[in-house]
Amino acid sequence: MTPESNWDKLLAAKFLLADGATGTNLFSKGLTTGDAPELWNIENTRKIGELHTDFLEAGSQIILTNSFGGSSCRLKLHKAEKKVAEINFAAAEIAKECADKFQETKIVAGSIGPTGELFEPLGLLTYADAVEIFHEQMDALKNGGVNLIWIETISALDELKAALDAANRTGLPTCCTLSFDTHGSTMMGIDSENFVQFCEDRKLSFYGANCGVGPSEMVETVLQIKKCQKIDTPIIAKGNCGIPHYQEGKIIYSGTPEVMSDYALLALKAGARIIGGCCGTTPLHISAMRESLEKVSIAEKYSLKEHFEKLGEPWKETDRSKKRVKRSSLRNKIS
C-alpha cells in the first residue's frame, strides 16, 4: 500500500504517530550550536539515516525530512543557498530509503519551515519571491520521493499562504502547523479561530500545531482548534517534550516518556489524530507514546481533571507572572 493512494484509509485509523525532534536529537549525535542540520544530509548522511530509523523502529508512522531550514533564505546564513536542490533532494532520499525498509506503511513528509524573513511592508521579502523560495525547496523534496509536504512552525498567514501556493504546484498532499505561544496565538498574533477558518477556506486535509510551549499547552491548543472547526478535519499535535532548562551547559527537556505518553493520550482524546513530538522528543518518548496509543479505546473521552492531574494546568509553568488559568474559565472554553 502506498501512502499517496490510500490517504482515506490511513486517516481513518485511530491515530497516526509522527516522529520527534530532529535538531535536538542531532546535537546528541555531534551537531554543534550554530551548525546547519540540513548540511548533514550531504555531509553526514549516515547519522541522519540513523535518526530516521530510530524513530521508525520506535513506532513512528510519519517521519519528517531533515529539511526544516532548507530554504535558500535559511541556507544563505551558512553560505549554502546554491545547494537548495541538492540538500533537499538528499533529505527526501535518505528518509525514503529508511521508510521503505519497513513492512508497515511509513509516510515521508517533506518538512518546510519558515523563511525567517519578514514580508513587505515590514520587511523586504515579496509574496511572489516567497512562493518561489518555497517551491524550489518543495520541488527538490518531491523529486527525492516525499509523500507529503509538511509546512511547520509558521507564525503569519501571509507566509503560510505563500507556502501553500507553492505546495499546490507540487500536486502532493499538504498539511500545515502553526506554533502557538503562551497567549494562545502565534508570534504574529494568529489565534486558533483565524487559523481554522483559513484552513477550512482552503479545504486542507489536515492541520494543527507544533512546537509552542509544552505538552499541557499543546493539548489545550488542540481543544481550541477542535472547538473552532466547522468541518471535521484531522488535527495534528506535535508538542514539545516538556519545558526546556539549562543543566551543565546543555538544554534539557523536562518531559519523561511517561509524560509524553500521557500527552499523546490526552491529545487523542482532545481531538488530535496525527500525534508526534517536537523539540526534545526522542525515539524513547515516541516508543512510549505508540504503546499507549495502541491500548487506548477510541471511546475514551477527554477529561479536564485528567488533563490537569497528568500534565498540569496549561501556561502555569511557562508564565508565572500572569494570572493562572482558572478551571472554570478553561471549562467554559471547551464546553
Please give the average per-residue pLDDT across 127-137, as a whole number: 98
Q: Can you say whether residue 19 is alpha, beta or left, with left for phi > 0 and alpha for psi between -120 and 50 degrees?
A: beta
Minimum mean pLDDT range among 30-34, 209-213, 328-332: 328-332
Is the pLDDT at 113 greater than 80? The verdict is yes
Portion of the chain with pLDDT greater than 70, in percent: 92
Q: pLDDT tens digits for 217-236?
A: 999 999 999 999 999 999 99
Portion of the chain with pLDDT greater than 90, in percent: 79
Where is pLDDT greater, at 246 or 269?
269
Is the pLDDT at 248 greater than 90? The verdict is no
**pTM score:** 0.91
Chain centroid, CA 222 distance in Å = 13
Distance CA(5)–CA(31), nearest Å, equals 37
Is the pLDDT at 112 greater than 60? The verdict is yes
Residue with cell 535518526: 51
Which grid cell sits at 4?
499517496
Check: CB of residue 60 under 8 Å from CB of residue 17. Answer: yes
Where is pLDDT greater, at 57 or 187?
57
Round the average pLDDT of the chain to a whole number and report it.
90
Distance CA(104)–CA(83), nearest Å, equals 33
Check: CB of residue 196 under 8 Å from CB of residue 169. Answer: no
Q: For residue 285, what pLDDT is reported?
A: 98
Where is pLDDT greater, at 266 or 3?
266
What is the SS3 assignment for 258? helix
Where is pLDDT greater, at 271 or 4?
271
Q: What domains lie within the chain, and their CATH numbers?
A: 3-334 (3.20.20.330)
Measured between alpha carbons, how far is residue 94 from residues 52, 55, 58, 99, 198 in Å? 8, 14, 18, 9, 33
Is the pLDDT at 243 greater than 50? The verdict is yes
Is the pLDDT at 273 greater than 90? The verdict is yes
How would residue 299 be classed by pLDDT, with cut points 50, 70 and 90? confident
Q: For residue 259, what pLDDT is reported?
A: 96
Please give the average per-residue pLDDT across 239-262, as a whole number: 88
Is the pLDDT at 326 greater than 60? The verdict is no
Is the pLDDT at 80 greater than 90? The verdict is yes
Q: pLDDT tens digits for 30-50?
A: 999 889 999 999 999 999 999
Query: Which residues have CB under 8 Å from 75's CB, separation 6+?
Result: 36, 38, 69, 81, 83, 84, 87
Distance CA(82)–CA(86), nearest Å, equals 9
**Could you write out the three-class secondary structure of 57-106?**
HHCCCEEECCCCCCCHHHHHHHCCHHHHHHHHHHHHHHHHHHHCCCCCCC
Q: For residue 308, what pLDDT is reported?
A: 96
Please give the average per-residue pLDDT across 166-195, as a whole number: 93
Please give the average per-residue pLDDT across 273-285, as a whole number: 97
Distance CA(139)–CA(285), nearest Å, equals 32
Q: For residue 140, what pLDDT is reported?
A: 98
72 bridge partner residues: none
Distance CA(71)–CA(196), nearest Å, equals 26
